[in-house]
Every structure is written in structure tokens, then in C-alpha cells.
Amino acid sequence: MNSLERLKHRLRGEGVDRPPNLDIVMTFAAHHIGRPLSQFYLDHRVLVDANLCVAEDFNLDIVQAISDPFREAADFGLEVDFPSDSLPVNRKPLLVAPEDIKKLVAPNPATGPRMSDRVEATRLFREKVGGELPIMGWVEGALAEAADLRSVYETMKDLIQRPLWLEELLEICVQVAIAFARVQVEAGADIIGLGDAVASQISPAMYRRFALPYEQRIFQAVHEMGALARLHICGNTNRIIADMVESGADIIDLDWMVDMKCAAEQFGNKVSFLGNMDPVAVMLQGTPAKVLAATAYCMKVGGPRAISGAGCEVPDGTPHENFHAQSRALSKIGGFEG
């Protein structure tokens, strides 16, 4: 059973040799192959090499084109700096004033330098491991993209002060996300992941108006393209789990502060939950014994469709023995005869 088969069986609740591991790795992956972060962000060949190496060394069941939140935003025209070996930096939003929306031009994902680089990563993944390892493309959710262009701080206020204006911006963002997803699926993505981190900071009512409908549209399009959909919202999403299930995602990531047992008991028959060890306290700062216990617990409470992963990105500097412990735990858990 290869990783792609393992994932597909698991999503259907069918028997597998072990639960799949779909950890998100970014900075960890770049440094694992000794490359500075700027190369990981700007050169898809480095991103692909890093992912293949991590997948092999730590038994991950995924390769992924996720790197940073600024792919679409940079091609919209946001100024992003790439220091040699640290995270990308944006110091000034593109939409400083609400009227700046009039100047906003939607980028073409096939030609935008940063978006097309991700597409190329997806294509190279297909050449190297297509049909064996699930290939995950990535888009920003409409609300997350709005926050990338406008700043989180202003977007939080826009939600209350200028909701109609925000919806106008979200409409632009959702169309770019769908177009971006499409070229990644055409290039070889089996899964499209969607990040909507800011959604955990708003009320359920706001989530239902400003995030969920756009996630639904993107995932519906992804399904029509023939790919799987994964929803990733960092932070405490306990209060919006029921709504997130309505997004249509096949896989829903749960950050470490979410009650995976409760989520699985309520909605485990509708969707696969992925999670949800604490990436810092368990993966980065914990011990192999702690990782083993946490992995086993999550798979036990998550049910027959659960997928293993840290609540968010596996942090740079995570001890290798901790990462290996997750893999050992999954092998020990073994299969489930569906």
C-alpha cells in the first residue's frame, strides 16, 4: 500500500496498514536539507527536494507545495522581502485605504512569478512521485488573502465597520483562489489545502458570513476538478467545528487546542479530522515518549478516518527523535480492518 492508496482508503474509513501522516513542514524541511529559507520560498526545486527528503526520512505520506502565505499576495503586488534565512517580510499592506481596492488587479496564477513557482513545484512533484505520494497544492482562503492584502489588524476592524467593502474584496480573492487551485490540480495536485488562519479569531456568526461561503465555493470547485480538499485553520476552532464541516472539506485540520475527541464523536462520520498534537509543547519541546503518547491518543479518539499530524506546522528545530517517534507510533497502531 503506497501513501496515496493509504490516504484514500483512510478517508473512506477502510482498512490501512497504518494511519497516514500528513504533517505540514516548511521551515523544518528547508533546513533539513541545509538550504536557507529564501531558496525554499523562491525556488520550487529546493521546495521539492526538501519535501521529498523529509517524506522519506520521517515517513510522511505527503509532499506539499505550501511555503508561506504570500504567494497570491505578492502576485497581486504586495511588497514582500525575502531575507536570506528567515521568514518573508511584508512591512506595508497593499490596501492601505479602502479605495485602494479600485487599483487591485487579480493576478494570473499561471504567469504570476510566485504563484507559477508553486505550480511548477506541483508539476515536479508529479514527475517524481505522482501516484505514490499525495501531492498537496495550497491556496489562501478568501478571508486570509484579504488579511494578507489589507493587514490582519485592519481586516478585523473591516469585519465590523465596512462589511460590504470586505465582501467585495473577498469576491476578488475567492476567484483568484479557484483559478490558482485549478492550475495546481492540472499540474498534478491530488489535494488542495486551504489556509484560513484568521477565521479562528472571529465569531461563529462572522465565520458563517465572511469565511465559510468562500471556503465552500473553493472546495466545490476543487471537487469538480477531481481533487481532495483540506481545510486548515490555525488556532482554537472549537466553536466553529460544526460550520467547518459544512465547508465540504474532505480533511479538516485541528490545531492542538481543539478537542479532537469531541469533534470526531460529532462529525467523524462526515469528514476526516487531522491532528492534533501541540507542535510546540509536544513536537518541539517534548520527548519521544510524549510524542508517542500524543500520536496514539489522537488516533484513538479520532476514529477510523483520523489522520495524524501536528496541530500546525512542525516547527523548525523539532528534534529528529520526536519526529521519528510519531512515525513509530503510527506503525505500532497499525491498521484498521474497515
Partner 1 sequence: MDGIPPENFVTMIEAVHKYGRYGPLGKNKEKTMDKTIETIYTGILDGNQHLVAQQVTEALNAGLSPDLILKNGLVAAMSEVGRLFENGEYYVPEMLIAARAMQAGLKLLKPSLADTGVKAVGRVVIGTVAGDLHEIGKNLVGMMLEGAGFEVIDLGTDIKPEAFVNAVREYKPDIMAMSALLTTTMPNMEATIKALEGAGLRKQVKVIIGGAPITEEYANRIGADGFGYDASLAVKVARSLIGG
Residue 121 touches partner 1, criterion: CB under 8 A: no
* Distance of closest approach, residue 332 Cβ to partner 1, in angstroms: 27
Query: Please, which residue, 275 or 304, has the CB nearer to partner 1?
Result: 275
Query: Please, which residue, 88 or 109, has the CB nearer to partner 1?
Result: 88
Query: Please, which residue, 94 or 229, has the CB nearer to partner 1?
Result: 94
* Distance of closest approach, residue 313 Cβ to partner 1, in angstroms: 8
Angle at 333 between CA 301 and CA 125, to 5 degrees: 95
Residue 91 touches partner 1, criterion: CB under 8 A: yes
DSSP code for 200: G
Residue 78 touches partner 1, criterion: CB under 8 A: no
Stretch that binds partner 1, among 106-114, 130-138, 216-224, 312-320 (CB under 8 A): 312-320
* Distance of closest approach, residue 316 Cβ to partner 1, in angstroms: 6
Residue 89 touches partner 1, criterion: CB under 8 A: yes
Residue 12 touches partner 1, criterion: CB under 8 A: no
d(CA 116, CA 123): 10
Residue 216's nearest CA partner among 106, 142, 108, 136 is 142
Question: x/- contact string, 16-35, with partner 1 (CB under 8 A)?
Answer: -----------x--------
Q: Which of residues 261-290 bind partner 1 (CB under 8 A)?
A: 279-281, 284-285
SS3 letters across 242-288: HHHHCCCCCEEECCCCCCHHHHHHHHCCCCEEEEEECHHHHHHCCCH
Residue 1 touches partner 1, criterion: CB under 8 A: no
Q: In the numeric block, which cell numbers belong to residue 302?
A: 479520532
Query: Please, which residue, 34 or 226, has the CB nearer to partner 1?
Result: 34
Residue 36 touches partner 1, criterion: CB under 8 A: no
Q: How many C-beta atoms lie closer than 10 Å to residue 92's C-beta?
A: 8
d(CA 222, CA 82): 30
Q: Pairing mode, if any, of strands 228-232 and 272-277?
A: unpaired
* Distance of closest approach, residue 148 Cβ to partner 1, in angstroms: 13
d(CA 113, CA 118): 9
Residue 193 has φ and ψ, to the nearest 5°, of: -90, 145
Give percent helix, percent strand, percent coil of the chain, each to the nearest 5.
55, 10, 35
Residue 45 touches partner 1, criterion: CB under 8 A: no
Q: In the numeric block, which cell numbers belong to residue 174?
A: 475567492
Stretch that binds partner 1, among 81-89, 102-110, 175-183, 216-224 (CB under 8 A): 81-89
Out of 108, 175, 201, 220, name the contact with partner 1 by CB under 8 A: 201
Q: Residue 17, class by beta-carbon neighbours within 10 Å (0-12 exposed, 13-18 middle, 19+ buried)?
A: middle
Out of 2, 111, 161, 287, name the contact with partner 1 by CB under 8 A: 161
Residue 259 touches partner 1, criterion: CB under 8 A: no
Residue 269's nearest CA partner among 303, 238, 246, 299 is 303
Out of 86, 111, 269, 287, name the contact with partner 1 by CB under 8 A: 86
Q: Where does the chain show beta strands of DSSP type E?
A: 63-64, 135-140, 191-195, 228-232, 251-253, 272-277, 307-310
Query: Please, which residue, 282 or 307, has the CB nearer to partner 1?
Result: 282
Residue 239 touches partner 1, criterion: CB under 8 A: yes
Residue 20 has φ and ψ, to the nearest 5°, of: -70, 155
Out of 22, 133, 187, 202, name the contact with partner 1 by CB under 8 A: 202
Q: By CB under 8 A, name the binding residues for partner 1.
A: 27, 86-87, 89-91, 152-153, 156-157, 159-161, 201-203, 206, 234-235, 239, 279-281, 284-285, 315-317
